[in-house]
Amino acid sequence: MLGSLLTLIGLYSLACWLYENFRTPVLLVVKGIQQLVQANRHSLSQKYGPWAVITGGSDGIGKGYAHFLAGQGMKVALVARNESKLKKVAEEIRNKHGVETKVVVADFSKGEAVFDHLEKELVSLDIGILVNNVGVINEKPIRLERMEKRLLWNLINVNIGAATLLCRILIPAMKQRKRGLIINISSLSSLAPTPYLTVYAATKAYMTSFSVGLREELLPFGVECQTVSPGYVRTSMTEYFASAEGQESSLSKRVVNVADMIRYAGFTISKTDSTTGHWSHGFQTGVLNALPPSLRLRMFSKLYTQLLEEYSDDKQKQL
């Protein structure tokens, strides 16, 4: 009696885990094969519309998406702060892929003020894909009360405010055209509250919840929404963390390159509504998902308490 009850619970848990972690890979294989045998394949711009807007499109993962989408024949609009950097990347993209580009200078840390400007710059474009990629992180683990108030507010405005308001601005036209795709960049951090990166992890949990909820809202209108939750990718954002243990540390060797991530994440576009963005991050996520949330929290808590000590100002003063 007890034995069969335990078996039942075990099978139920296994089935839930298998569903959660293998739904995306199975979908990718099925849709990938479908695409191969399909006679008239639609390009991304035929399916969603000619323009792609990428926030934080001048560096790291955003720049990777910009190159990928331009390589698929889409026109790209890049949004970030540094105009000369934006122009340089836009020129690179035009030269390499021969597509039209546009740059929009905007600083999301300024809050609500920037969105009038963005609306003016963007509403006239027929936007097929919006990549809500922009994001910042505190450069090292730090106690909440020691963070500058302005930096805290920036984290919220940039990581959460930008995606939320841009969706509000761009969704009406997508709904009217009955096509479009919103790609929201969350993070593996969204899976576990993380002390000393508390606000960053919480903004990412927001992104996942926002993205999944919004997807359900948009489903009846022919507009798609994908959530991407990567682990460590080598960009300027992770420079600090990856280099802390030295360039050749086991951690930094396991960090995925933007090019590898984008090859995988790009393949998942229009095939699945949720992905880690790289198969290796799929494994990491699967392992994390197999742990009960309380144990996951203990692990993260231990790891980041260690990191807090390693990065503490006192230690830096000693160096």
Ligand X SMILES: *[C@@H]1O[C@H](CO)[C@@H](O)[C@H](O)[C@H]1NC(C)=O
Binding partner of residue 84 among ligand NAP, ligand X, none, CB under 5 to 8 Å per kind?
A: ligand X
The bridge status of strand 274-275 relative to strand 224-228 is: parallel
249 binds ligand X (CB under 6 A): no
236 binds ligand X (CB under 6 A): no
Helix H segments across 157-257?
A: 162-177, 198-218, 239-244, 250-254
Is there a contact between 53 and 129 (Cβ–Cβ < 8 Å)? yes
Smaller CB separation from ligand NAP, 47 or 81: 81
Diameter over CA atoms, the chain = 71
Nearest residue to 70 (alpha-carbon basis) of 100, 48, 42: 100
238 binds ligand NAP (CB under 6 A): yes
**Total interface residues for ligand X by CB under 6 A:** 3
Smaller CB separation from ligand NAP, 20 or 107: 107
35 binds ligand X (CB under 6 A): no
At 225 the three-state DSSP class reads strand
Binding to ligand NAP in span 109-128, by CB under 6 A? 109
Smaller CB separation from ligand NAP, 50 or 230: 230
Is there a contact between 54 and 294 (Cβ–Cβ < 8 Å)? no
Q: For residue 101, how many C-alpha atoms fall within 13 Å in the half-sphere facing its CB?
A: 26
Q: Which residue in the set 85, 110, 177, 296 belongs to the binding site for ligand X (CB under 6 A)? A: 85
Min dist CB 94 to ligand X, Å, is: 17
CA distances from 131 to 41, 101, 169, 284, 307 (A): 23, 15, 14, 24, 31
Smaller CB separation from ligand X, 82 or 176: 82
- Would you tell me which residues interact with ligand NAP (CB under 6 A)? 56, 58-62, 80-82, 85, 106-109, 133-136, 158, 185, 187, 230, 232-233, 235-238
- Would you tell me which residues interact with ligand X (CB under 6 A)? 82, 84-85
